[in-house]
Chain A
Amino acid sequence: MNIPAGLKYTKEHEWIKVEGTTALVGITDYAQGELGDIVFVELPKVGTAVKTMQPFGTIEAVKAVSDLNAPVSGKVIEINSALESDPTIINRDTYGEGWMIKIEMSDPAELETLLSSERYEKLLK
């Protein structure tokens, strides 16, 4: 199970990578493994406001569909449109090319409520 240190995690299996006031969001290696072959990702439009632990999109595997939750509040400033034509990127490289949205954070203090890699690993046990 790949749980990179240095990222923050949600209980709902999203990861967030902070870069200054912006952050990249995706789903964890555990989540992509549980879903299996991902066939579709529905992402918000650039400019959409997102709220911490509220759904920003959905992800579909062959026989399951899940909400994607925003780890922090803010505004979507970029989406990974490569996922539209090939969502299996998430299965192959979920912490890299498989990122989903980039958020301009409105309340970086919210990061404190998220899980560290150690605590996320514990959650999975």
Chain B
Amino acid sequence: MSYIPNTDEDRCRMLKRIGVEGIDDLFRPIPQNLRLKKPLNLPQALPEIDLMREIEGLAGKNRSDLTIFAGGGIYDHFIPAAIDTIISRPEFVTAYTPYQAEVSQGTLQVIYEFQSHICRLTGMDVANASMYDGATAAAEAVSLALAKTHRAKVIISETVSPFFREVIKTYLSGRRVEIVLIPHSKGITDLERLRHTIDQNTACVVMAQPNFFGLIEDVETASDIAHKDTGLFIEAIDPVAVALLKTPADCGADIAIGEGQPLGIPLSFGGPLLGFFAVKKDLVRQMPGRLVARTVDEVGNPGFVLTLQTREQHIRREKATSNICTNQALCATSAAVYLSLMGRKGFRQVALLSMEKAHRTAEKLFERSNLKPYFEGSFIREFVVRTPVPAATVIDRLIEHKSILPGIDLGRFYKGMENALLVALTEKRTDEEIEALNKSLREF
């Protein structure tokens, strides 16, 4: 089957009409020495039946049988079947925010509800229609701070997700911005160091709550320090853990961002994920992304529209703070449906169960064993285990022999932490699964 919608004859006619001999003539402005003169290195075309076999073979390599204790921003929460049913409605199946309010009231309303949920979760005044993922949301938050303050220094705690930090670095490359990393002391951001690093050229301080090690940070003090020289405070949160903590708004954050995958979106390598982004009202003009608002029409009926579009690049051009003019509409819809289904009580219950199971697991693991807690701080649903052999070895062996993914090897991200295993719990993990992890880890 050909995926090219026009025929040889069509193309011939089109070329003749614009007065060129062949397709190659269209590329004439590109100098010869820049052109690729050999065919692309691609395999031969396959018949559909063989293609299916090949793709199914690749899909078969997925280990969907694993019991997952890995987190680090992406968590294995239960996803009610209703979500898939609702988001599979053709009206919702899109990755985009609609421009034309007249024919898109349903989608706009869902996004508005998503924004409202995020405002409730974070305590902030305004949330946008979502971003690609938590990491790009973090980078956009930093860009906002740079644009708002006209300063050139960004301070990030080392306990912020290494993925977030990597994407921030990528976004800022070539922008003459200095990124300063604040080290951690026993798993917690060194606030004394932060106090001494901050200056009048600091655009923002980025912290995570809980941090990448699962530990609770003193974000209120950090936010006070950040504000001392009128910089902005950016708080990256785990949306589930935050159900049990003070909101970013209560802690003084100017921008709250995070990864929305735990809100009803499945685990999959490479995404899609869901970034959420919320600000205090005075930053709304610099906020990236789309924004849905509720309004009334001429005769007073309520309706939904895209609003404050002058922030965006199709109007503000090169002066826009961001080039993001889209959102993750389908994933945002999942999150909106998830939070509506769970409700205030149900959602809190998910967080409480995850925390209770994490603490029970830690207790079990550390009871008369050669496993030790890596850090002493308080945690919600994720903690670091000091393993007697490198964590990478533990992970490989448990996947291979026990069908358990026991956690994340922190040696991948932090020098000298090769024996640190980051273990996360969700409400989904059963007593049997926890016991299986406990037994398997004790074999080292």
Chain A interface residues toward B at CB < 8 A: 39-40, 42, 58, 60-65, 67
Contacts and interface: CB of A to CB of B under 8 A. Distances in A.
B18 interface: no
Interface string B287-324: 00000000000000000000001100001100100000
Nearest to A59: B310
B246 interface: no
B285 A63 contact: no
Tell me which of B310, B315, B316 has the highest count of chain A C-beta atoms within 10 A of its own C-beta. Answer: B310
Task: Please report whether the interface of chain A is mostly helix, strand, loop or mixed according to DSSP.
Answer: strand
A63 B309 CA distance: 7
A65 B316 contact: yes
B315 A63 contact: yes
5 contacts: A40-B285, A58-B319, A60-B310, A62-B310, A65-B319
B310 A42 contact: no
A124 B98 CA distance: 39
- Top 8 A-B pairs, shortest CB-CB distance: A65-B310, A60-B310, A65-B316, A65-B315, A40-B285, A64-B315, A42-B285, A63-B315
A60 B319 CA distance: 13
Nearest to A44: B150
Given A58-B319, A60-B310, A63-B315, 16 more contacts: A39-B310, A40-B285, A40-B310, A42-B285, A60-B285, A61-B310, A62-B310, A63-B309, A63-B310, A64-B310, A64-B315, A65-B310, A65-B315, A65-B316, A65-B319, A67-B319
A62 B306 CA distance: 12
B374 to A, nearest CB: 45
A73 B401 CA distance: 73
A39 to B, nearest CB: 8
Nearest to A58: B319
Contacts of B310: 39-40, 60-65
Nearest to B312: A65
A42 B309 CA distance: 16
B321 to A, nearest CB: 12
A51 to B, nearest CB: 15
Nearest to A40: B285
